[in-house]
Amino acid sequence: MSYNEKQGPHHEDVLGVDAYRSSSMVDDSNSAYTLETVEYGTRWQRFVDSFKPMDLDEVGIDTTGMTPMEKSVIATARHPLARRLKSRHLQMIAIGGSIGTGLFVGSGYALSQGGPGAVLIGYVLVGYSLLCVINALGEMSVQFPVSGSFNSYFSRFVDPTWGFVLGLLYACSWLISYPSELVACAMTIGYWRPDVDGAVWVAVFWVVICSVNMFGVKGYGEVEFVLSFLKVIAVIGFLICGLCIICGVGDKGYIGGKYWSNPGSFNNGFDGVASVFISAAFSFGGIELVALAAAETENPRKSLPRATKQVFWRITIFYILTAIIIGCLVPYTNEKLLGSDDPTQNTASSPFVIAIQEGGIKGLPSVMNAVVLLAIISVGVSSVYGCSRTLASLAVQGLIPSYFGYIDRAGRPLVAIMFTNMFALLGFLVDADAQSTVFTWFFSVCSLSSFFTWMAICYTHLRWRWALKAQGRDTDEVIFRSPMGVWGDYSGIVVLLFIVACELYISIIPYDAEQFFQNCLSLPLMIVMYVLHKTFTRSWNMLHVKLSDIDLDTGRREVDLEVLKQDIADERAARKQAPFYVKIYKIFC
């Protein structure tokens, strides 16, 4: 029996906050929070009531006899996050969202360690693997736009222990990123006002970021739309400006590609190339936020495929072209690239700023620094969003304490947001002597976790496709099929395994215990978490959910399978009859 059959006719009423409000609030005469209150209550009363919990028990689903896995799947499908993200929000998040210090500042550290050739190779390899990952994730997210997205897919298609380990590490990566971004904000302001204590700016930006996330997903979407748009314009402007400087505009005259030959394309040989991968992962991190927002999107069937395709342009323009331009403008021997104790956070070490300064173009360094500041704020806002939604998803799956799953009537995971904001107070370490050491060890917790998360997404997509075949179903019911297919999963996993092997190699040879744990602490930590969860839940007898037992229906917004198949067939037939230029456009846009 499928989960849909077990749920009965109430299935459509449990998929989101709108259905919940229409089906239960009006019928509950004893509830103080009725539809009339929403429409006619005072503004202050509506504000106060918005913090009250969403009462999921009123929805009415009989879970008697269901396994913990079935309850987990239903919980993520019925989670009442507000569906207020529009297509334009999703497109801009896909193109420019979460681009911050990793690209604008961290790329300078990568350049100094490996040279321009190493940065280009690192970005191409990580970028290719991310294309495979985001297409696989896009396919699943369009099919099942549920709370927590890929984190819940780990539990659903592979094993709950996978969901616990990788979900918790993913949440930690955002949790640790948040105070780090606050420190970066203070350092960036220091470019103009070095006389002001950094803790003052940490407090200011903490309040700003907290306020944005208290406006809910719509506030996040609008802020990300504006900031991402500005980042896109800035990077395109930098590429044009950089090309002009390379061709001779500026104090140095024609530069061309001389820095690729002198001092050279590579620094430190293979070790230099391998050292770039972590910086590349830091730069690309957050690209999966598009899928995480699936449950809060108005029409994921239309907007998510387009957003997924935008990632190709993001990788090509923001990373590949930028790596080439920066390599032409800034030699890896430039002392400013290592001009601070923490070059990954000091904007004076940003190759974007250095390139414009060295080109002798006045005024633009301050403009570029302002763009870096906006990018850092954007990543800070995304950190709260990514961490809070992941924690809420883990909570409704029963993998962490249930109070993290508290959703208020405005659709905000309130407890998870508050917890994330409280942790960010570590940003006040900005003035501490040990600040750099503290954050180095914090980041070591999730050093390789991004690669493992991306590999797990590819593997989970394979399990989804295998489950379809095992249950006698095919891809005719798949709304958006990954253009890279299962071969994209296989090749993505191979590339990511190679990158992890490179990181292990440079961490072990020559062996240095401190360096190894700073680079690879997440690996032993994952193993320990996996063993502890399996032992605590006494689930060693199940390393994988059986393919025949995987639920292929719960969480769809289109619940009539035959109608869905016909709609998909009609859309694909129309696409085949379209002119060739339309087909090419649809591949990339």
Domains contained in the chain, number = 1
Cβ atoms within 10 Å, residue 443: 21
Determine, yes or no, domain membership for 63. Answer: no
At 424 the pLDDT is: 92
Q: Please indicate whether residue 402 or residue 30 has the higher confidence score (pLDDT).
A: 402
Residues 115 and 261 sit within 8 Å (Cβ to Cβ) = no
pTM of the model as a whole: 0.84
Cβ pair 163, 463 in contact under 8 A: no
Domain membership of residue 578 (yes or no) is no
Which range has the top average pLDDT, 212-221, 384-393, 441-450?
A: 384-393
Residue 53 lies in a domain: no
Q: Give me the pLDDT at residue 168, please.
A: 92
* pLDDT greater than 80 at residue 141: yes
The mean pLDDT value for 453-471 works out to 94
Instruction: Please give the pLDDT value at position 128.
Output: 93
Token pair, residue 521, equals 């602490």
Residue 325: CA atoms inside 13 Å, Cβ hemisphere, count?
26
| Closest by CA position to 474, among listed 552, 407, 571, 408 | 552
Backbone angles phi, psi at 413, to 5 degrees: -75, 80
Domain-located, residue 18: no
Q: How many CB atoms lie within 10 A of CB 302?
A: 15
C-alpha 348/C-alpha 337 separation (Å) is: 8
Query: For 225-279, what is each residue's pLDDT tens digit?
Result: 888 888 888 889 989 998 998 988 877 778 888 899 888 889 888 888 988 888 8
Q: Which of 31-45, 232-246, 539-553 has the lowest mean pLDDT?
A: 31-45
The most confident of the ranges 121-125, 410-414, 555-559 is 121-125
Tokens representing 121 are 């190779």
Query: pLDDT by residue (tens digit) across 510-542?
Result: 777 878 888 888 889 999 999 999 999 888 888
- 563 within some domain: no
The whole domain housing 445 covers 83-558
Q: What are phi and psi of 297, to 5 degrees?
A: -105, 140
Q: Establish whether the linkage from the previous residue to 145 is cis, with ω within 30° of 0.
A: no
In a domain, 345, yes or no: yes
Which residue bears the tokens 């050491």?
437
The whole-chain average pLDDT of the chain stands at: 80
**pLDDT at position 81 over 80:** no
User: Is 588 contained in some domain?
Assistant: no
Q: In whole angstroms, give the CA distance from residue 583 to residue 503.
A: 40
> How many whole angstroms separate alpha carbon 587 and alpha carbon 311?
12
Is residue 348 predicted with pLDDT exceeding 70?
no
Which has the closest alpha carbon to 201: 184, 216, 186?
Answer: 186
Q: Look at residue 31 and tell me whether its pLDDT is greater than 60.
A: no
Q: Are 231 and 374 in contact (CB under 8 A)?
A: yes
Residue 499 gets which letter from DSSP? Answer: H
Which residue in 544, 463, 569, 454 sits closest to 135, CA to CA?
454
CATH assignment at residue 368: 1.20.1740.10
> Which amino acid, one-letter code, is at 334?
N
Is-contact 110 276, C-beta < 8 A? yes
